[in-house]
Amino acid sequence: MQALTTAARPRIGWGLIGTGGICDQLAQALAHVPDARLVAVGSRELPRAQAFAQARLATHGPVRAHGSYQALVDDPAVDVLYIGTPHTDHAPSMALALAAGKAVLCEKPFTVNRREAEAAVALARRHEAFLMEAMWMRYVPVMVALKRLVDDGEIGEPVSVNADFGFSACGLAPTHRALDLALAGGGLLDVGIYPLNLAAFVLGPIVAAQAWAELGPTGVDVHTVFNLRHASGRLSQGLCSLRATTACRATVLGTAGRIEVEPPFYAAQALRLVRGTRDDSPVERLEHPWRGNGYVAQVEEVQRCLRAGLAESPAMPLDESVALVGWMDEMRRQIGLSYPCE
């Protein structure tokens, strides 16, 4: 694809598909990126889009409100569309945007299943449109530093990754998106994607997975544990829960030390590097703060790729996004979880 130069677009125009909390987070991040601007928002209900735009007037200036996703996609000022809707809407919204040749940043999980993910990637490649999964954890400075430390051999040969992510959904209504079967809810797709993604990020491609889960009253998984085997032969473990709030810790073990990502690992700004295998091994705390709310780094990565003429990000390759959705398919098969949309 052709590079989006600063001469062609001094500031890259963003449009938001959705008006929920996560779109608000992305809007906040855009304010911290000098060559980005929020130009439009779309909703199936025009008053919701208008209210969202009005609330951001002081920060972003005038933001156009559209009463349909099609109208948003057709807006000529929009260069990139961020999809921040429920899981089941990701695939159709991506199809709408990519068919129009728009660049897309799609919230995680990329899609509900691998079939949808493969179709989205194929469409992006056919239209030569940029596409990236919004796995914001991958782009923050602490994760970049973590990967570099592992690759540089600071803890010897990497052995395993262990991570957990859970929160109590007891106070949520059964119709909340995290618990709603019709919206592809459940712990695995909502928060389990984080330990899964971290394991693949550090240890490479997955070749086998085992999962066990407790299904809740609405039919979605509310507590899931899984073991992974990687192509390298290394092993990793993950836990996700909607029944209990976990410590949200992540540890990378190596033959000559370990790296402890300070909780919550998915939003970390520091890590502890333990050099050695003894109880008294030296520990170094390394801080890697971010700007804004943590979403800034993924916005910057999208814009870096567009300026360079890249169709996907090397930090979160499309084939890897497809593969990880496929492994969630396999784990759901093992725990007996399928969605009405499938």
Cis geometry, peptide bond prior to residue 264 (ω within 30 degrees of 0)? yes
* pLDDT tens digit sequence for 20-49: 999 999 999 999 999 999 999 999 999 999
Residue with tokens 């899984």: 226
Helix axes of 296-308 and 21-30: crossing angle, nearest 10 degrees: 60
Tokens for 315? 């930090």
Domains belonging to the chain, first-starting first, are 12-136 (3.40.50.720), 141-289+324-335 (3.30.360.10)
User: What residues does 236 pair with on adjacent strands?
Assistant: 161, 228
Distance CA 228, CA 182 (A): 28
Tokens for 308? 């360079």
For residues 55-78, one letter each, b for 16 or more C-beta atoms within 10 angstroms of the residue's C-beta and e for the rest, the string is: ebeeebeebbbbbebeebbebeeb
User: What residues does 15 pair with on adjacent strands?
Assistant: 40, 81
Question: In terms of DSSP H, where are the helices of the chain?
Answer: 21-30, 46-55, 57-60, 69-74, 87-99, 114-126, 141-151, 187, 193-203, 296-308, 318-335
Return phi, psi of residue 81, to 5°: -110, 130
Amino acid at 80: V
Q: What pLDDT score was predicted for residue 279?
A: 81
Percent of the chain residues topping a pLDDT of 70 = 100
User: What residues does 282 pair with on adjacent strands?
Assistant: none
Q: What pLDDT score was predicted for residue 278?
A: 83
Q: What pLDDT score was predicted for residue 269?
A: 96
User: How many CA atoms does the CB half-sphere of 255 hold within 13 Å?
Assistant: 5
Q: What pLDDT score was predicted for residue 5?
A: 77
Distance CA 254, CA 238 (A): 17
Single pTM value for the model: 0.96
Tokens for 318? 């499309």
Return phi, psi of residue 105, to 5°: -115, 110
Amino acid at 12: I
Helix axes of 114-126 and 318-335: crossing angle, nearest 10 degrees: 160
For residues 280-316, one letter each, b for 16 or more C-beta atoms within 10 angstroms of the residue's C-beta and e for the rest, the string is: eeeeeeeeeebeeebbbbbbbbbbebbbeebbbbebb
Q: What pLDDT score was predicted for residue 276?
A: 82
Q: With a cut of 70, list the residues of the chain below it in pLDDT.
A: none
Q: What pLDDT score was predicted for residue 2?
A: 79
Do 315 and 305 contact (CB within 8 A), yes or no?
Answer: no
Q: What pLDDT score was predicted for residue 258?
A: 97
Distance CA 290, CA 253 (A): 25
Nearest C-alpha neighbor of 85 from the set 97, 77, 93, 95 = 93
